[in-house]
Amino acid sequence: MKERIRLSLLLIYKLLDLAALTFALWLAFYYGGPLGVDYVRQSIAAPTVDSTIFFVGVVASWWFVLSSFWLYRSKRLASPRDEVFDVLRAVAFCSLILATLILLAEWHIFPKRFLLMFAATAFVLLLLIRVFKRHLLREFRLHGRNLRSVIVIGAGRRGQKIVRQIKENPEVGYQFIGYVDDLDAPETLGKLDEIGRVLAENVIDEVFICLPFKTFYDRMETVARAAEDQGVTVRVASDFFNLRLAKAVAGEIGDAPILSLYAAPQSGWQMLIKNAIDFCAALVMLIALAPLMFAVALAIKLTSPGDVFFIQERVGYNKRLFKMFKFRTMAADAAARQRGL
């Protein structure tokens, strides 16, 4: 019964997204390509083969994209930023599909602002739907609805930390049932070897594995297999090495799951803004100081034989070598003379 309700709500969620994209398309037709409105009305009143293929192709392609971009996986542990990027990718592909079908149909009635209006409207609508969904689910979970029962494998420091976070963040929607560990700790449901029995005798939705990775690898695999056999979601605490700064990010190489630990900042929006500021500031300064630099270069060339610039290799980000250019202030053979001293 619960699964049937979940699938029904998921279908409604997808249909709501599809309705939002359709509404965005209509607005784009109405404001971005007014001539297209007449075509839509004509297609509805007296559909032709071409118009039917176009609109069916658009809707079917959008349905496939929405289902393929993990927009409907559980976002219980996902950050709002993750959802923004998921929506952005989906809207980009939906816009690309729309543009491709318009080109194939050889329509020349849509100005450039048509696609821009569609993409912007679709992004805002899909994002608003997700903001509303997150707020609604948060209220449900705070009132004891939409909860998932979890057990924690390992009653040590990692396990206690996870349980503390679960209890301090009820909006996540987890209900802690107990530990499974060989340690004699409160709220322990059984030993590690009894994981199959614990899962069979209790209603468990998810399992959090918080065992020491080095000494309990084989036991962790046993737990994961037992959970897999009973269709229970397994989550693994990623702080294997007790690192202070590294951030764990999940990924894949082919079908192999990979957990990456990043100690240096990655190419997020903060890095993007920093690079943009660096580039723009450098460009402005180069243009503003171009006359002065030209005068310096001319003075060096006229007063001293040799190259204008002194070029030297330096170590940059991630130990990458780059060439640094600066105006030469010494004799051209200064380096050779220094070695001879």
6 and 102 share one domain: yes
Q: Which of 221, 236, 262 is the last residue of a domain?
A: 262
Q: Which of 126, 142, 158 is the last residue of a domain?
A: 142
Res. 265: pLDDT tops 60: no
Determine the pLDDT at residue 148: 87
309 and 335 share one domain: yes
The CATH number of the domain where 169 resides is what?
3.40.50.20
22 and 65 share one domain: yes
pLDDT digits (tens, 9 = 90+) for 158-207: 888 888 988 888 888 889 999 998 888 788 888 888 888 888 888 888 88
For residue 120, name the pLDDT band (cuts at 50, 70, 90).
very high
Res. 155: pLDDT tops 70: yes
294 and 255 share one domain: no
Q: Which residues contact 59 (CB under 8 A, 6 or more apart)?
A: 18, 22
14 and 136 share one domain: yes
104 and 181 share one domain: no
Q: How far apart are CA 19 and CA 338, in angstroms?
A: 74
134 and 254 share one domain: no
Determine the pLDDT at residue 324: 87
Q: How many domains does the chain have?
A: 3
Phi and psi based region of residue 46 (left: phi greater than 0; alpha: psi -120 to 50; beta: remaining): beta
19 and 120 share one domain: yes
Q: How far apart are CA 154 and CA 178, in angstroms?
A: 10
Q: Which of 97, 115, 142 is the last residue of a domain?
A: 142
211 and 311 share one domain: no
DSSP-derived secondary structure for 221-287: HHHHHHHHHTT-EEEE---TT--SS-EEEEEEETTEEEEEEESS--SSHHHHHHHHHHHHHHHHHHH
Place of tokens 């894949």: 252
Alpha-helical regions (H) of the chain? 2-27, 34-45, 49-68, 80-105, 113-142, 157-168, 195-201, 217-229, 269-303, 334-340
Determine the pLDDT at residue 36: 58
240 and 165 share one domain: yes
pLDDT digits (tens, 9 = 90+) for 77-110: 777 888 888 899 889 888 888 888 877 766 665 6
Res. 1: pLDDT tops 50: no
Res. 128: pLDDT tops 90: yes
For residue 254, name the pLDDT band (cuts at 50, 70, 90).
low
User: 177: domain range?
Assistant: 148-262
**Per-position b or e across 134-154, b if 16+ CB within 10 A of its CB:** eeebeeebeeeeeeeebbbbb
173 and 123 share one domain: no
188 and 76 share one domain: no
